[in-house]
Each structure stands twice: as C-alpha cells, then as structure tokens.
Amino acid sequence: MIDLTRFLKYSVLAFLLFLIQFMPQSAKACVEGLDWGMGISSLESHLGVALKPIQEKEGIDVFEVRNFQISGLPVNSLRVLVEEEYGLKQIVYEIDYENMTEVLAGLRHRFGSPVGTSDDVDGRSPQQQWIWHTGEDVITAIKTEQGKFILSYRPSLLDPSFL
C-alpha cells in the first residue's frame, strides 16, 4: 500500500512538470516592459524599431535588428524567436567583447552568482558559458574565441518551487 501511494505521488508530480512545459508563460522578459508571449508588432512598438525577418518556418519566425542600443549599451544584433501560437519565446543579444565584463557584473549583481559555469563547451573552439535561473527566465551568457559575447534569455520551463 505504501509503494502505491508513493507511486501516485511521483506520477502526479511528473504530470505537473510535464504540464508546466506546455503552458504559456506571462513572466517578464529581460527588457523591461517585454513579456514572454508578446507578438511581433507589440515587440516592435515597445523597442521602437522594425524587426527584420531572417528565418521563417511554419509556426516559428526569427527576427533581427542590428546596431541597436539597450540602456546605453551598444548591441551588435538583437534576435527574437517568435512562435505563432505562443509569441515571444527567446531573445538573443550579440554584444562586443569589450562590454562583456560590465554585462556579467550586472547579471551577478542582479541575480547573484550563476548557477552553472563551464569552459570549452562544444570541444571545437574554446568558449566560456555562464547560466542563471531567475525563477522566470533562464539566462545564458557565452564568450567565444572569435570575440563574440552572446546573451540569451528564454522563459523558464521549470518552476523552482516544485523542487
């Protein structure tokens, strides 16, 4: 009887975790005023720029703006992944390497130490990676050997309160 109760508890937990992954999230995205799930016209209106489509597939579109500034920080490119059904799903910035230290310091100040760090991620070329989980977002910062610094935000699929 005890094993059946334990099995049911774990089954319910697994079902809830599965369900959370498919529910649209209304959490705040990384830029103030942006929400996960926003449509492309709302994004363009909020950012004050026209986003150019660079990749279109059925139900998923990637848009970009180049040479953009956020909070006075120059951004080489800003890309957004927008799903037809769920709206904004990911934001990716490419920032000059010289601004990396300031961005990492700002992330550490706002969210604390990263939950994960690694070196030589893909085995082909050396790179460093830092990961933060804010409860609403997953932030990944990547420094590559080619001098690029990439910052990616996506909504978290896991509610930490379930852990």
**Per-residue model confidence (pLDDT) at position 118:** 73
Residue 15 within a domain? no
Instruction: Spell out where 5-136 has E strands.
Output: 52-57, 60-70, 73-83, 87-96, 116-119, 127-133
Residue 102 within a domain? yes
pLDDT tens-place string over residues 88-128: 999 999 998 888 888 999 899 988 888 877 766 556 666 78
**pTM surpassing 0.85?**
no
Residue 125 within a domain? yes
**Residue 66 pLDDT > 90, yes or no?**
yes
Residue 4 within a domain? no
Domain count, the chain: 1
pLDDT tens-place string over residues 41-61: 999 998 888 999 997 777 679
Residue 5 within a domain? no
| Domain of residue 90, residue span | 25-162
Residue 6 within a domain? no
